[in-house]
Amino acid sequence: MSSNRNYDFLIKLLLIGDSGVGKSCCLLRFSEDSFTPSFITTIGIDFKIRTIELDGKRVKLQIWDTAGQERFRTITTAYYRGAMGILLVYDVWDTAGQERFRTITTAYYRGAMGILLVYDVTDERSFNNIRTWFANVEQHATEGVNKILIGNKCDWEDKRVVSTEQGQQLADELGIPFLEVSAKSNINIDKAFYSLAADIKKRLIDNQKSEAGAGGASGGAGGVPIAQAGGSGGKCC
């Protein structure tokens, strides 16, 4: 670890999903432990940083929030590549007619090691669009990037139109983990990010072992393996 750094590991994550599904609210809850009832519209790309402690190591998470509109989708594609993990999100606030923004986001796939795909359990359209977002990730993101499916607003049971079983079935179909969360009620938000980080850590460690076995150079840089991310083992700094 360099003497002028205040972290041991740096990992880039990316939030994607339809506009209005609550990506920004999930990010705000995780990074600042706050929530705003106002509808937040992301213009282009935004990001926040949270440093956590995992098994005695300081892990700096750089989390990018993308606009769900069609015209921005091409931009985020570049950010998929390099992401260590991906979070897919859907939300009740999804609006129609914004597909044109989606192209910009393509550029942002590059560099992400994790992607969270988010949908809203009260908005069936945002749920159905997850397959399109997933296909975009598969096309533009780095091979092997970690992904997780997130169903937001799980506390809105009276408005729910997508069941937990449907979410799990889609996750099984896509071959990725699944969690329902609520940014408003702070349900499973930390768990979603920590579990994704844990999967990234395992992949990186496995890759390093493979490289070492093949005579690869020792000692990683940038996004290197992080310690096991556990629900109770992680501490926010």
Residue 204: both structure tokens together:
């990186």
Asked, for residue 66, whether it belongs to a domain, the answer is yes
Residues 6 or more apart whose CB falls under 8 angstroms from that of 63 comprise 12, 13, 14, 15, 27, 30, 31, 47, 48, 49, 50, 193
Q: What is the residue-level pLDDT of the chain in tens, covering all 237 positions?
A: 444 678 877 788 999 999 889 998 999 999 888 887 765 554 445 678 888 877 777 778 888 887 655 444 544 555 555 555 655 554 433 333 344 444 445 566 777 889 999 999 999 999 999 999 999 889 888 888 999 999 999 999 999 999 999 999 999 999 999 999 999 999 999 999 989 988 887 787 788 888 887 765 444 444 554 434 444 344 444
Asked, for residue 209, whether it belongs to a domain, the answer is yes
Asked, for residue 196, whether it belongs to a domain, the answer is yes
Q: How many domains does the chain have?
A: 1
Asked, for residue 134, whether it belongs to a domain, the answer is yes
Q: pTM for this one?
A: 0.74
Asked, for residue 4, whether it belongs to a domain, the answer is no
Residue 188: both structure tokens together:
């499973």
Asked, for residue 3, whether it belongs to a domain, the answer is no
Give me the domain span that covers residue 43: 9-236
Asked, for residue 2, whether it belongs to a domain, the answer is no
Residue 166 belongs to domain with CATH number: 3.40.50.300
Asked, for residue 1, whether it belongs to a domain, the answer is no
